[in-house]
């Protein structure tokens, strides 16, 4: 690759699709779920050990999750981790935009 081959360009909303990875949509969803688990862990000031205890896994597993190694976890299990943080998980199905054609997941942070 030469210097002329490199550059900055705007990415699609799902980087895994742009990289041509298999199961890109599922991987993107899992990444969003793990990002929310990470955000909640930090917002509550939890150590990885305390987050692990809450989710029923080991601290090394939490470390691997937060470093992006979550392929072995199902979407359902990751959703279960969110409920361990006293979160209700709501799934909404609606038509995609015709122009983009991509579905999306959005997390709303509601306060009591």
How is the chain split into domains, by residue range? 13-83
> What pTM did the predictor assign?
0.74
Q: Which of 59, 30, 31 is nearest to 46 (CA)?
A: 59
Are the C-beta atoms of residues 103 and 13 closer than 8 Å to each other?
Answer: no
CATH of the domain spanning 13-83, picked from 3.40.50.360, 3.40.50.300, 1.10.10.60, 1.10.260.40: 1.10.260.40
What pLDDT tens digit does each residue of the chain (112 aa) get? 455 566 776 776 788 888 888 888 899 999 999 999 999 999 999 999 999 999 999 999 999 999 999 999 999 999 999 999 999 888 777 776 664 555 566 666 565 5
């Amino acid at each position: 690759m030469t210097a002329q081959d490199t550059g900055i360009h705007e990415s699609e909303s799902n980087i895994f699709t742009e990289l041509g990875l298999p199961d890109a949509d599922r991987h993107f969803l899992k990444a969003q779920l793990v990002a929310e688990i990470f955000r909640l862990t930090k917002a509550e000031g939890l150590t990885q050990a305390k987050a692990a205890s809450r989710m029923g896994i080991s601290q090394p597993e939490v470390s691997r999750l937060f470093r992006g190694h979550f392929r072995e976890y199902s979407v359902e299990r990751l959703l279960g981790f969110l409920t361990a943080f006293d979160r209700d998980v709501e799934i909404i199905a609606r038509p995609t935009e015709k122009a983009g054609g991509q579905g999306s997941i959005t997390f709303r942070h509601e306060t009591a």
